[in-house]
Structure 1
């Protein structure tokens, strides 16, 4: 890393697709330059901010205060302009931008309706009966269409709207018992809808509402836990509670392979990187009393690195508790690399491991075994480079060239709970419970 900068007290933070960056502290919104972290704007909201989001063109920021049922919108170009949306007695549980960055979608309490507010015409549209599920609203990547999961008369439906004028394009029922989520393929041609974990079912619909295919791997045990489209829309990966990932192809929508997550790695074609921790070695001649601040810090710090293990390798396995809800078992995280070549997964009952699959060969390429539970991972949007965080003060980077462990400098214990790449791949946000850090990465010069 070329350098890091840490800020204290930020509870919510997101990265805009252009230089500005925003964070909130209680009722204050802070807008900074993403390259220097210089403060550009300060805004004060009427109450504690619980959610912020940039518009698609990064000209506006919405701040949602769910307890008050209020959304405030701020303009970066015109500091004197502002907007306040009060949902009143209807309440507010979710708020987001439309793809054009000029409409705000507010979901009222008890999911009675979605209100679409226009910043340009000040008009209001209503979408009734939205379903309270994990992912009930999905936009196509080009921003032309929106799909909404609905629940009417004890049945599941999907409505597709044209985002230009919010007119209903298609409305159809789904063959689900309890619709859990919907997600468009990146090309916007196919909509995936899946049932709750009690029913293993994935349905694939065309833009006009036709059922293209239905997939079910098994019947009675717990079913689907996670889903991810490949950036090319050629593959749909389905993570299940049976600790497997099934990949469907875009031609026949049939399964092309099953990826298992065993507790013992035996294949000689798989590279296993194991994180090891050791105390630093100190030169006795450098010791002094009282010790300097830097020396005192190094005395109690530990260093981490990766070792390559020889197979077979036994991974840390946790037996799930069968009599508790939401068991820690199955594939709960999935992510394709931007070039479609790799798939990263996490099996929740092997919590310290990240599995990296070569999609070109449909084989396991690498396993990263961490010292602590993997909290999250995300691919670089520009190249096959994976960043992993485990709740420690280190960030872990993998690429086909190898692995590296990066210690985040700073005072105190900075526990990285989540991370987010900048769209350029040059920097990354590292977030703890009440701090954030911006990590800038150097690019190799092409000679």
Structure 2
């Protein structure tokens, strides 16, 4: 892979544009736009400059509030930043002073500002249409949707959580929000094309809503309880209860991770007990339980990161994982159950784009990533139990705890990982290849990739929308890695 230079960033605010032509970076109170092919700076804006310049003022809170002082503006760093869906606009926000600013990529002089006022600002993000902005106020007072097209605002009262508990349908037509009215959990469905007009409002069976997750088809919702109870409900967008799941016995501490299969056929649920429950969409009952085990059975590919390979290679080049012959025993860290939120359970559940593979990371085994093979909808209908049940396929063992892992958004069998050190890791589902170390044929490749930079410890990894590049982030810097293009020899003309 080809790596770029190291650039500064703050708060991890680095993002490719939806078309992958530009990359956005926030550095303290300034946002920088670069071209992704040459990394030349195209635009740069500073938050707070528009306070002394004419702008399109979208509005402010009707409550009495004190405008931010010069000192507050000078010390305000950007906390949220993002692209609109068509890459035309860039959103930046500072929750400290409660101000959102919007810039236009093709018009450097255009600027819009939202002053959230005394109600404060907890979170801000783009709506799917790319012309509306969602502002969640502090203390769960309301969510305000500002329209760049009309300059008007729509208000929805009492959202339960500013960082979760809401979803948009895949086509962006409906906005679904978990709310709390009269001490009861409720769900509101709003039509985004009609200025977020209320379509349906109904009570939820939950007593302390933790979050909601909309199915890929957009007709079913998974709603689960808070940390005191392990229970998940399946409801339609019309408010009908389809099913309820709670494992027996319920060990408490609630649900930690939930993920939908891309086809909507399965829903995987995990708590703090190192078990993954697979629910099917016909009865919403469990069809399989994937449990963390210290002993890896035969038939599973076990890959181990070589020791001291970073020093040996001076952070340059690719080094394959060492393939270990199972059965193999893994070390499990036993949690202290007497403490709140013990270090156990599943910290990540994510499907690849085709749904054929499931990545799982357990907190009691932080240096290991598990990859499960998942049946397709056709396999699920098969009478062959070996094809219709998910099973462990590969185990990736690292020298340091895995801090981030992400599937390629385009290629169905590629995952990138990082462990907070001067390297990154790639696992790819390939056609049959020959493993020289074991002398066997395998259908996957696992490689360690050194980052050719000193004192750069990758703590987070993100794919570009086209799946050809990666963003690697350290505490206060970032770099990008792109697939090296192979030189195709030109054919010599015949004489």
Alignment TM-score, normalising by the size of structure 1: 0.91
Give the aligned partner of residue 333 of structure 2. Answer: 318
Give the aligned partner of residue 260 of structure 1. Answer: 291
Q: 2:459 matched to 1:409? A: no
1:235 to 242, 258, 266: 266
In structure 1, C-alpha distance between the alignment counterparts of 2:162 and 2:79, rounded to whole Å: 20
The 5-angstrom pairing of residues 271-350 of structure 1 reads 271-278=301-308, 298=314, 305-350=320-365
Give the aligned partner of residue 169 of structure 1. Answer: 199
In structure 2, C-alpha distance between the alignment counterparts of 1:87 and 1:242, rounded to whole Å: 41
C-alpha offsets along residues 322-348 of structure 1, whole Å, 9 cap, x if unaligned?
A: 232221101120000111110000111
For structure 1, the 5+ residue unaligned runs are 283-296
The 5-angstrom pairing of residues 109-128 of structure 1 reads 109-128=138-157
2:371 to 322, 342, 356: 356
For structure 2, the 5+ residue unaligned runs are 49-75, 376-386, 430-443, 490-495
C-alpha offsets along residues 151-171 of structure 1, whole Å, 9 cap, x if unaligned?
A: 122211111111112011111
**Structure 1, 67-76 or 395-404: larger mean CA deviation:** 395-404
Equivalenced residue count is 430
C-alpha offsets along residues 371-394 of structure 1, whole Å, 9 cap, x if unaligned?
A: 111111110011110111111111
Q: 2:109 matched to 1:80? A: yes
The 5-angstrom pairing of residues 137-152 of structure 1 reads 137-152=166-181
Structure 1 residues 21 and 31, CA, compared in 2 at 3 Å: closer, same or farther? same
Deviation at 1:446, TM superposition (A): 11
- The 3-state SS of whatever aligns with 2:107 is coil
2:140–2:162 Cα contact (<8 Å) kept: no
In structure 2, C-alpha distance between the alignment counterparts of 1:124 and 1:134, rounded to whole Å: 20
**Structure 1, 248-257 or 358-367: larger mean CA deviation:** 248-257
2:145–2:153 Cα contact (<8 Å) kept: yes
Deviation at 1:316, TM superposition (A): 2.9
In structure 2, C-alpha distance between the alignment counterparts of 1:263 and 1:443, rounded to whole Å: 41
**Structure 1, 129-138 or 322-331: larger mean CA deviation:** 129-138
In structure 2, C-alpha distance between the alignment counterparts of 1:33 and 1:445, rounded to whole Å: 23
Alignment TM-score, normalising by the size of structure 2: 0.83
2:310–2:450 Cα contact (<8 Å) kept: no
In structure 2, C-alpha distance between the alignment counterparts of 1:352 and 1:230, rounded to whole Å: 25
1:193 to 188, 204, 223: 223
1:424 to 450, 466, 480: 466
In structure 1, C-alpha distance between the alignment counterparts of 2:311 and 2:111, rounded to whole Å: 57
In structure 2, C-alpha distance between the alignment counterparts of 1:342 and 1:71, rounded to whole Å: 39
2:318–2:448 Cα contact (<8 Å) kept: no
Give the aligned partner of residue 3 of structure 1. Answer: 3
Root-mean-square deviation (Å):
2.2
Give the aligned partner of residue 291 of structure 1. Answer: none
1:100 to 118, 129, 132: 129
Q: 2:256 matched to 1:225? A: yes
Give the aligned partner of residue 44 of structure 1. Answer: 46
The 5-angstrom pairing of residues 57-76 of structure 1 reads 57-76=86-105
- The 3-state SS of whatever aligns with 1:416 is coil
2:136–2:162 Cα contact (<8 Å) kept: no
